[in-house]
Amino acid sequence: MKRLFISLAIITIFSFFIVSCYYDNEEALYPSLSNSCDTTNVTYSGTIVPILNNNCLGCHSAAATGGSILLTTYDEVVARAPRITGSMKQLSGFSAMPKGGGKVSSCSITQWDIWVRKGMLNN
């Protein structure tokens, strides 16, 4: 009887771990997050400037202390767009940005890529 109880307990515990372990991606777990990423109307003023404001201008503006790379004007952003792309994606060979912070959101990176691919229009 004791062996049967121990065997049943082991099988129950093992079954619990098998059933409770599963993997989902972020979009499946949080569908509201994936629906809020607007990739249909990406513009410099409406999309890119807010990304820069939220992730870059704390260090890369004239008001920031120590930011030698300025990203406050359209011309400054376009001139550095390839480096910004590598830094935002934290690719090897690039300085990972934002410094000391997490990675820029995947939505923002997708929007940035769309803007670059469409010719970096000043709209």
Nearest to 94 by CA among 69, 73, 111: 69
Structural domain contains residue 11:
no
Q: How far apart are CA 86 and CA 16, in angstroms?
A: 43
Domain that holds residue 90: 36-117
- What pLDDT is recorded for position 28? 52
Q: Is residue 85 part of a domain?
A: yes
Residue 119, token pair as written in the block: 């010719």
| Distance in angstroms (rounded) separating the CA atoms of residues 83 and 77 | 10
Please check whether residue 49 lies inside any domain of the structure.
yes
pLDDT at 2: 79
Task: Establish if 46 belongs to a structural domain.
Answer: yes
Please report whether residue 7 resides in a domain: no
**pLDDT for residue 26:** 53
Do residues 48 and 113 touch, judged by C-beta distance below 8 A?
no
Give the count of domains, the chain: 1
60 lies in some domain: yes
Q: Is residue 21 part of a domain?
A: no
Per-position pLDDT tens, the chain of length 123:
778 878 877 887 766 656 555 445 555 555 555 568 989 999 999 999 999 999 998 888 887 765 688 999 999 999 999 999 999 999 999 999 988 778 899 999 999 999 999 999 999
- Look at residue 19 and tell me if it is in a domain: no
pLDDT score at 62: 80
